[in-house]
Amino acid sequence: MVVRVLVGAQWGDEGKGKITDMLSKEADVVVRYQGGNNAGHTIVVDGEVFKLHIVPSGILYEHVECVISNGVVISPGVLIKEIEALEAKGYSVKNLKISNNAHVIFPFHEQLDRSEESERTDDSKIGTTFRGIGPCYTDKISRRGVRMVELKDKESLRASVLHHDWTTLLGIAQEEVDAVIDQYLEYGRILKPYMVDVVDLLHKRVQEGKTILLEGAQGTLLDVDFGTYPYVTSSNPTAGGACTGSGLGPTQIEEVLGVAKAYITRVGEGPFPTELCDKFGEDLRTKGQEFGTTTGRPRRCGWLDGVLLKYAVLVNGMTHLAITKLDILSGLSEVKMAVAYEIDGKRSDKWPDNIRDLSKVKPIYESFPGWEENIEDITDFYKLPKTAQLYIKAIEKFVGVPVSLVSVGNSRERTIYRHG
Ligand code: IMP
């Protein structure tokens, strides 16, 4: 038995989908513990591409119980479409479980997300995905949110929805609000068979000695507490969020695997010390196909940031790292990693705890020799070009945790395992 957390070590889009998918194979239970359909996981199986936004990637394995736990915010219409799409491709969703206590995203939240973002000035825009994530979590924290369980009960749902004055707030006609309530009751009817007491379920699985994978969406630097606030999402993707988002306790977690790209990307606004705003950055985007799974937006690209990665190791209590997309760096004469920052003319080895300092950072790089070879088909670490091995070892040494897995391509086969 092992309870393992998988987290994004950067700004999301680290290639977690593939790693989750691979770890799911060995798991009995996969739990998605925060975020909503702002996330997008791309998985390639036998050349077929799956883009999942809310259903845990473990769903592609019949033996895996897939859980959407209390920390997640659910757009039920999106979830139902995803279930239907999976079934249409011949995948069973009979093992899907949804927490009664997960919060519900309404179309009003999406509208609010759009209107709040459009009211922000250019330099304060967050670049949200417009999926209603922030407004839904706001309702949760303000103790006026709607939980999934209420979709099973007409009176309760009506009372909770009407508790908000959507008509005044967004100028929505009462009939439209009523229509949404009816539609959500229908969603409740469809999703009812999947809704369970997830705390009870997960603790039973722990007692049964099952292997559980807690899957984080987004990434450490998008965490509402530890990220580049306010340019963050509204939940806790970091490992602590796996506990509050699922009901498993910290002492039950044995491993925390961080996933980082061999370089770094970010979508949306906010500071990004190692960003490459030149042709080189553009080439990296094209080669790495760095466009958002959810919104299609081009991702900003940059060199690997070791200072950031070290911070991510700390705040997650990471035990291992997986480095993805190493193949994208092939063909470069040199590769770089930021090993310190210069702030106001002073050298600092530490990730700044405030956005003002972070915006002033000038990265100090260490340069490593590149490699020419195509490495996509290599599955043994020691068959990688020596310079690629050196780069991975340098990352490992710098951040202080082992790199247990290196990904060199989209498909499951293109993976190098290390350290047993
Ligand atoms: P929200 O989560 O839609 O509120 O967006 C807040 C910030 O998080 C924006 O900068 C988004 O681009 C970013 N974000 C949200 N989800 C993801 C993700 O899955 N990958 C990368 N960035 C994300």
Query: pLDDT tens across 137-193, in order?
Result: 999 999 999 999 999 999 999 999 988 888 888 888 889 999 999 999 999 999 999
Pick the atom of ligand 1 nearest to 235's CA. Answer: 2
Kindly tell me if the per-residue pLDDT of 420 is higher than 60: no
Closest CA to 412 of 10, 42, 35, 6: 42
CA 298–ligand 1 middle distance (angstroms): 13
Kindly tell me if the per-residue pLDDT of 362 is higher than 60: yes
Lining ligand 1 with CB less than 6 A are: 11-13, 38-40, 126-129, 131, 133-134, 217-218, 222, 231, 233-234, 267-268
pLDDT at residue 34, rounded to an integer: 98
CA 157–ligand 1 middle distance (angstroms): 28
Task: Please list, in sequence order, all residues whose beta carbon lies within 8 angstroms of the beta carbon of residue 73, skipping any fewer than 6 positions away.
Answer: 35, 36, 102, 103, 104, 105, 132, 133, 136, 137, 140, 235
Pick the atom of ligand 1 nearest to 217's CA. Answer: 19
Domain 104-191: which CATH number of 1.10.300.10, 1.10.10.10, 1.20.210.10, 3.40.50.970: 1.10.300.10
pLDDT-based confidence at 51, cuts 50/70/90?
confident
366 or 123, greater pLDDT: 366
CA angle, residues 192, 198, 204, in degrees to nearest 5: 125
CA atoms within 13 A on the CB side of 242: 32
CATH superfamily ID and name for 2-99+195-257? Adenylosuccinate Synthetase, subunit A, domain 1 (3.40.440.10)
pLDDT at residue 166, rounded to an integer: 83
Alpha-helical segments (H) within 325-411? 355-360, 386-399
CATH 3.40.440.10 region(s) of the chain?
A: 2-99+195-257
Kindly tell me if the per-residue pLDDT of 52 is higher than 70: yes
Query: Beta strand pairing status for 362-369 and 212-215?
Result: unpaired
pLDDT-based confidence at 43, cuts 50/70/90?
confident
> Does the annotation count 13 as an active-site position?
yes
pLDDT at residue 162, rounded to an integer: 86
171 exposed, middle or buried (CB, 10 Å; 0-12, 13-18, 19+)?
exposed
pLDDT at residue 194, rounded to an integer: 98
Section 231-237 average pLDDT: 97
Q: Please spell the DSSP secondary structure of 76-92, one letter per residue.
A: HHHHHHHHHHHHHTT--
Mean pLDDT rounded to a whole number for the chain: 95
> Does the annotation count 21 as an active-site position?
no
What is the percent of the chain with per-residue pLDDT over 90, rounded to a whole number? 87
CA–CA separation, 420 vs 271, rounded Å?
Answer: 37
CA–CA separation, 347 vs 353, rounded Å?
Answer: 15
pLDDT at residue 152, rounded to an integer: 97
pLDDT in tens, 62-121: 999 999 999 999 999 999 999 999 999 999 999 999 999 999 999 999 999 999 999 998
Q: Which residue has the tokens 């659910």?
A: 74
Q: Could you tell me where the beta strands, DSSP code E, fall in 46-129?
A: 48-52, 65-68, 73-74, 96-99, 103-104
Nearest CA to ligand 1 atom 8: 233
CA 53–ligand 1 middle distance (angstroms): 12
Which of 10, 20, 34, 38 has most ligand 1 atoms within 8 Å of CB, for mutation?
38
Active-site option among 21, 41, 109, 164: 41
CA 90–ligand 1 middle distance (angstroms): 30
pLDDT at residue 414, rounded to an integer: 93
CATH 3.90.170.10 region(s) of the chain?
A: 259-417
Any idea what DSSP says for residue 371? Answer: -
CATH 1.10.300.10 region(s) of the chain?
A: 104-191
Phi, psi of 241 (to 5 degrees): -65, -25
pLDDT at residue 47, rounded to an integer: 79
pLDDT in tens, 188-214: 999 999 999 999 999 999 999 999 999
CATH superfamily ID and name for 259-417? Adenylosuccinate Synthetase, subunit A, domain 3 (3.90.170.10)
Alpha-helical segments (H) within 344-385? 355-360
pLDDT in tens, 285-295: 999 999 987 78
CA 126–ligand 1 middle distance (angstroms): 9
Alpha-carbon radius of gyration of the chain: 21
* CA distances from residue 32 to 137, 212, 284, 381 in whole angstroms, order as listed: 16, 11, 30, 30
Largest CA distance in the chain: 67
25 or 340, greater pLDDT: 340
Kindly tell me if the per-residue pLDDT of 399 is higher than 90: yes
